[in-house]
Amino acid sequence: MPEPAEKPSLHSCLCERYGSSTHKLAREHERSLHKRARCNNHHIFNMRCHDEVLIPSSLKIKPPVKTKEWYKIAERAGRAFLSARIRETYRSRCELSSKVLTLQSQLQSELLAEDYQKVTRLSYAAAENTHDKTKLNQTKKLGKLVDRRDARHELRPQGSVALQTTGGHTEAGTELHTSPKQASSSGHISCSGGGSETAE
């Protein structure tokens, strides 16, 4: 008995029905959604590191001379790198959101309404999965950084208070449970997020 023929994929149907240029447009729209989902989570992770007075491992500098002064210089540099990264991820997120809208408009003009709805629905669903996976990884990374900080504080002599400096002010360490909404409100205007938009 012959096996039933496999159902052609959506992308192969797009290529056959609309041509390779429209198919590439749909692929680029999907890739941009995935990139934006990852960038959005990366931005929130950096904002939460800033709020928790933490420096991500990738931005830490090992001072060549192990003295208190050199460690302070390395810490200030790490915080400056974190601020620069926050600005960069914010800019990238806004650029990707603008690109997604442009590609979406082009797709809407080239596809039939039914095909357009199907393409955007599947692309946003896939981007939402990427958003959830990236969010889980970033949450684990933040948790490890907080655990290391708390472990260092516990090793200090009893009665001493570990103070941290932020923006010229000295304050005690903050709690872990800073919501993404609070993190994204620290002087930045929010762009469109990961895969949570819905196509019009």
CA–CA dist 129, 34 (Å, integer): 9
Q: Is residue 199 part of a domain?
A: no
> 3-state SS of 57-81?
HHHCCCCCCCCHHHHHHHHHHHHHH
pLDDT of res. 191: 57
Amino acid identity, residue 165? T
Structure tokens at 110: 């080239």
Q: Give a yes or no: residue 191 inside a domain.
A: no
Mean pLDDT per segment of 10 residues, for the chain of length 200 residues?
A: 57 82 92 96 96 93 92 94 97 97 94 92 95 95 92 64 41 38 41 47
Residue-number span of the structural domain to which 141 is assigned: 10-146
Question: For position 51, what pLDDT does the model report?
Answer: 94
Q: Specify the number of domains making up the chain.
A: 1
Q: Is the residue at 43 inside a domain?
A: yes
